[in-house]
Amino acid sequence: MATVTLNKAEKTYPNGYKAIHGIDLKIDDGEFTVLVGPSGCGKSTLLRMIAGLEGISDGEISIDDKVVNKVAPADRDIAMVFQNYALYPHMNNYDNMAYGLKNRGHSKAEIDAKVREAARILQLEDYLERKPRQLSGGQRQRVAMGRAIVRQPKVFLFDEPLSNLDAKLRVDMRLEIKNLQQRLGITSVYVTHDQVEAMTLADRLIVMNGGVAEQIGSPIDVYERPASQFVAGFIGSPAMNFLKGKASDDKKHVTVGDGVELELDHDVEGGRDVTVGIRPEHLQMHSDGHGRIDAGVRMVESLGAETLAYLDFGANADNVTLRLQGTHQFTQGQKLNLSVPAEKIHLFDVESGKRI
Amino acid sequence: MYQSKWRIFTNHTILVLGALFMILPVWIAFASSTHTREYIFQHGLQFWPGGEFFSNYGAILFDAEATKGRVTALEMLFNSMVLGLGFAIGKVIISMMAAYAIVYFRFKLAVPLFWIIFSTLLLPLEVRIVPSYEVVASLGLLNSYTGLILPLIASATGTFFFRQFYRSVPDELLEAARLDGAGALRFFIDILVPLSVTMIAAIFIIMFVVGWNQYLWPLLMTTDDQLYTIVIGIKQVYNSLYEGGQIPQFPKAFALTIMASIPPVLVVVIFQRMFVKGLVETEK
């Protein structure tokens, strides 16, 4: 049960590279926070700073209102699950889970009770005597989680724990982690580059880019109102379409492609150049010709449950993704008539990428 | 891979011939050690064993007179064992700890220190033997096991091998141990040492054999017969060849040589098995 507070936390490496540019964040008790971003954005560094494996160059990190900048990792009352599991290969799974408790001087009986309880929760009871290498990837990751939960820490830290697993197992483990975290109610910070994991697990999402938190908010909020072009492009799959556009003089429309005028739900400065963002799932197809967009089909991908079509509707808009439910038969070059609801159009500043 | 019968046959023929060729001198030494000295003196080296096995080996092992010194071969074997084990174990411990410091502790001189240690690889014992002798003599350690072993146990080779091994251990393991509350010493003993078992076995084998075969250093260090190692003992027996008046002790010299070579062979055979087992087990 704990809160984690970051106050202008910064990380500068000895070679002068600044990995984290001052992050302010308050993670509530029991909250599941996900740090997401492309590789090199500093998300793992930030997690390791909370863990104490990396020093803090400036600012403060507190766990439960106690500043932990100078506290050793073992004394921060946190537990971490690593990408490569980091299980001790020469110990059996029981000893792997018990090691942290042993070092903290718990009694044998107490350790045994805690390890067996964790093993029960994680359905590892039959594997305790085995060595980690005798387990599958998913089971190893569960042992790693067991090692974290036996200590009943204040904070769980996950560093891309699922990226070494195959796709199906990843979905199962994702649900399991979410379930476990809710049951135990332990404050968690989870790092991933996978936006599906981020969306499904997070109570709160932190999208990072270049050592800066670009947006902090609930997953749905981030999806519906991305604060910048970067966030918009990163969250959502297939990625959002970005088109070059120009606001019309009446401030209520924006022109993209070959003179396609789209209606807006809010005013923009007339004549301004903007980046127009449209999610593939928000393009609607019309059979009666009411749509404002006429586009030609370039290519089609049928996924069964949905169909992706790549469209061309003019200059700077020649590779727009359309996502439709169900299966659809299109021929190459076929003309489609489309529209976008005004409230689903995102506008971004051309220079700064900020939402308008 | 498919191999024709003919090819298997030739491969094996070459291997068998090579093995026989290598073992032949050892066999001749053994066969010659089982004859009387008069017989060897008259007829030269022997290819077939004679009937003096028990008397020759018994005399050497238990009768100090037979080795022309004041110690029996048994005592010399013991001395060699102390030297070999002390040398190998000492080297393993020292080089593991040195490598641990170099790899895991961030101090400014780590890299230059490592290269200084590494560069001593270029300097064999013989180069520094006079100063080493001087130091040991002034410490009053001549004619002691300590003096025999201590100056030799720093090992650049061992340090280098352990350093390379530690660097291949994933950092996450260290981080996990840190989160589990393991300090520097705990991590070393609980995690690193068990992980390096195969490395330890490998270094131990090599170093035991090197230690066992040390000649120059024990020769210089020990003036007291009681501390003679078996390798020096062989020389001692041959020495008596030149003292005239008697028929040379060829069979006993051969017997001593055979005995001197058995322990290293045993160590290699025993630890090799462990070494290979370890290698197979850590395979992922």
Contacts of B104 (CB under 8 A, 6+ apart): B166, B174, B184, B187
Our CA-based measurement puts residue A77 at a distance from the nearest CA of chain B, in whole angstroms, of: 9
In 3D, which of A234, A196, A254 has the Cα closest to residue A353?
A: A234
Above 70 in pLDDT, residue A176? yes
Domain that holds residue B157: 71-282
Contact present, A2 and A29 (Cβ < 8 Å): yes
Residues of B in contact with A53 (CB under 8 A): 175, 178-179
What pLDDT, on the 0 to 100 scale, is given for residue B281?
54
Examine residue B49 and state whether it is found in any structural domain, yes or no.
Answer: no
Q: Which tens digit of pLDDT belongs to each residue from B242-256?
A: 555 667 778 888 888
Nearest CB to A82 within list B176, B194, B282? B176
Average pLDDT, chain B: 85
- A53 Cβ contact list (under 8 Å, min separation 6): A73, B175, B178, B179
Name the DSSP letter for residue A188. Answer: E
Q: Would you put residue B183 in left (φ > 0), alpha (ψ -120 to 50) or beta?
A: beta
pLDDT band, very low/low/confident/very high, at B278 (cuts 50, 70, 90): low
Considering only CB atoms, which chain B residues are within 8 Å of A143?
none
Q: Which of A302-311, B150-159, B237-246, B267-276 has the highest mean pLDDT?
A: A302-311
Q: How many helices (H) and strands (E) does chain B have?
A: 15, 0
ipTM for the complex shown: 0.83
Q: What is the CA radius of gyration of chain A?
A: 24
More confident residue, B108 or A95: A95
pLDDT at B239 over 70: no
Each residue of A165-175: pLDDT tens digit?
Answer: 888 888 988 99
Read off the pLDDT of each residue in B104-111 and give the average, rounded to a whole number.
Answer: 84
Mean pLDDT throughout A67-93?
Answer: 91
Domain count, chain B: 1
**The token pair that represents A253 in the structure block:** 């429309």
Average pLDDT for B90-117:
88
pLDDT interval class at B284 (50, 70, 90): very low
Q: Do A80 and B179 touch (CB under 8 A)?
A: yes
**Mean pLDDT of the A76-94 span:** 91
Instruction: For chain A, list the domains and their CATH numbers.
Output: 4-234 (3.40.50.300), 241-349 (2.40.50.140)
pLDDT at A241 over 70: yes
Determine what percent of chain A is predicted with pLDDT higher than 70. Answer: 100
Mean pLDDT of chain A: 90
Which of B170, B181, B182 lies nearest to residue A84, judging by beta carbons?
A: B170
Decide if A100 and B181 are in contact by the 8 Å CB cutoff: yes
For residues B282 and B67, which has the higher predicted lDDT (pLDDT)? B67
In the predicted structure, residue A348 carries a pLDDT above the cut 70: yes
Q: What is the mean pLDDT of residues B225-244?
A: 74
Which residues have CB under 8 Å from B262's CB, separation 6+?
none
Could you tell me how many CB contacts below 8 A there are between chain A and chain B? 57
Q: Which of residues 133-192 of B touch A (CB under 8 A)?
A: 170, 172-173, 175-182, 186, 190-191
- Whole-number pLDDT of residue B243: 58
- Give the tokens for residue A53: 């494996």
Residue B241 has pLDDT above 60, yes or no: no
Q: Is the pLDDT of residue B269 over 90?
A: no
pLDDT tens digit sequence for B19-73: 999 999 999 999 988 988 888 888 888 888 888 888 888 888 887 766 666 778 8
B176: nearest CB among A78, A86, A133: A86
Would you state the structure tokens that stand for residue B278, as one six-digit string?
């370890």
Comparing CB atoms, the residue among B170, B180, B195 nearest residue A103 is B180
Task: Tell me whether residue B197 is in a domain.
Answer: yes
Pull the structure tokens for residue A309: 């079509």
Optimal mutation site among B108, B180, B198, interface A, most CBs of chain A within 10 A: B180
Subunit contact B175:A147, Cβ cutoff 8 A: no
CB contact under 8 A, B179 and A89: no
What pLDDT shows up at residue A31?
93
Q: Is residue B229 part of a domain?
A: yes
Binary contact (A147, B191; C-beta < 8 A): no
pLDDT score recorded for residue A287: 83
CATH of the domain at B141: 1.10.3720.10
C-alpha pair distances (Å), A54 with each of A10, A135, B153, B161: 11, 31, 37, 29
Is B14 inside any structural domain?
Answer: no
* Set of chain B residues whose Cβ sits within 8 Å of the Cβ of A103: 180-182, 186
CA distance B90 to chain A (A): 24
Over residues B146-165, the pLDDT tens digits come to 888 888 888 888 888 899 99
Position B283 scores a pLDDT of: 42
Average pLDDT of span B179-186: 90
CA distance A277 to chain B (A): 40
